[in-house]
């Protein structure tokens, strides 16, 4: 690419599960994504995120920002406990909370999912909608458009010293979705369902292919798997997506680490077993 990367970005997938039955069973963790460098950020900390962070020896008290994409339990479940960690046990005002209106104030569908008590402690709260931009130390966050059952849902384009990362969050496919992430080095797609089993408000493998073809990232990662996707085998789905798009595509696994520097490198635990019950 002709660029000299002086700093690496490190990401940890504290969870790769999505949907209610994966959340209930924890057959895949629902811990969201941790950005470790250049600034420590917890993105979409679902149920169990605090446990999985501690198990991975990722000190929650070092969190500098909690970022939530929408008001669904599998994406916000442990947000308040991360705010408590970020503020030293609610002792001093510290850090940043970034989230759309539904999470902070509620909307016509949802009540706010972060209490007024927990909202009182971050130094700054930034309510975002598509197109809004936030600076978090060396990281620049751009909220992107999504279409989901929470009408305030956003994705994010994250500008980092080592290149841009895209995160779709939960969304259904719509024209122009992929263009928001055009040219990112790493594109993270929340793909609930496998090929041939679409679900309203979410992405399937076919949708992921359309987005990847539009965005043309260096590498793509699929995550946020529902029961049907886990049963189908995320690795097989990722391979089919890669074959059809020509873009390297990786199925995330719980606790997988990604380092983005001159190259994009993955360190992964073994694939989790498929489910034999539930149908979401």
User: For 9-267, which CATH class?
Assistant: alpha beta
Tell me what pLDDT residue 31 has. 96
Tell me what pLDDT residue 88 has. 97
169 contacts 74 by C-beta, under 8 angstroms: no
User: Rounded to the nearest 10 degrees, how much is the dihedral formed by the CA atoms of 48, 227, 203, 147?
Assistant: -50
Tell me what pLDDT residue 104 has. 98
Tell me what pLDDT residue 6 has. 54
Question: Positive or negative CA dihedral for 253, 255, 259, 260?
Answer: positive
219 contacts 251 by C-beta, under 8 angstroms: no
DSSP code string of 27-38 = SS----EEEEES
Tell me what pLDDT residue 108 has. 97
Tell me what pLDDT residue 268 has. 85
User: pLDDT in tens for each of the 280 residues of the chain?
Assistant: 444 545 789 999 999 999 999 999 999 999 999 999 889 999 999 999 999 999 999 999 999 999 999 999 999 999 999 999 999 999 999 999 999 999 999 999 999 999 999 999 999 999 999 999 999 998 999 999 999 999 999 999 999 999 999 999 999 999 999 999 999 999 999 999 999 999 999 999 999 999 999 999 999 999 999 999 999 999 999 999 999 999 999 999 999 999 999 999 999 865 444 333 333 3
Give the angle subtended at the CA of 28 by the CAs of 194 and 222, to the nearest 5°.
45
Tell me what pLDDT residue 135 has. 97
Tell me what pLDDT residue 277 has. 37
Q: What are phi and psi of 86, to 5 degrees?
A: -60, -30
């Amino acid at each position: 690419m002709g660029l000299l990367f002086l700093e690496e970005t490190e990401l940890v997938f504290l969870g790769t599960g999505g949907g209610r039955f994966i959340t209930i069973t924890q057959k895949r963790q629902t811990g969201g994504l941790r950005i470790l460098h250049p600034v420590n950020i917890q993105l979409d900390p679902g149920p169990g995120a605090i446990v999985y962070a501690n198990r991975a020896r990722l000190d929650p008290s070092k969190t500098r920002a909690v970022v939530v994409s929408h008001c669904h339990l599998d994406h916000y479940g442990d947000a308040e406990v991360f705010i408590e960690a970020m503020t030293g046990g609610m002792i001093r005002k510290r850090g940043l909370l970034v989230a759309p209106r539904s999470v902070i104030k509620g909307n016509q569908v949802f009540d706010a999912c972060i209490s007024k008590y927990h909202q009182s402690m971050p130094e700054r709260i930034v309510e975002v909608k598509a197109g809004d931009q936030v600076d978090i130390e060396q990281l620049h966050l751009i909220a992107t458009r999504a279409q989901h059952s929470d009408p305030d849902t956003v994705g994010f384009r994250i500008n980092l010293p080592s290149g841009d990362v895209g995160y779709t969050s939960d969304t259904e496919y719509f024209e122009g979705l992929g263009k928001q992430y055009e040219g990112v080095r790493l594109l993270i797609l929340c793909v609930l369902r496998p090929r041939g089993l679409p679900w309203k408000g979410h992405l399937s493998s076919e949708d992921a292919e359309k987005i990847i073809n539009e965005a043309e990232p260096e590498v793509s990662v699929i995550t946020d798997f529902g029961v049907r996707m886990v049963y189908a085998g995320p690795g097989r789905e990722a391979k089919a997506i890669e074959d059809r798009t020509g873009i390297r595509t990786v199925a995330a696994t719980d606790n997988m680490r990604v380092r983005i520097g001159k190259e994009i490198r993955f360190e992964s635990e073994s694939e989790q077993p498929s489910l034999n019950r539930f149908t979401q």
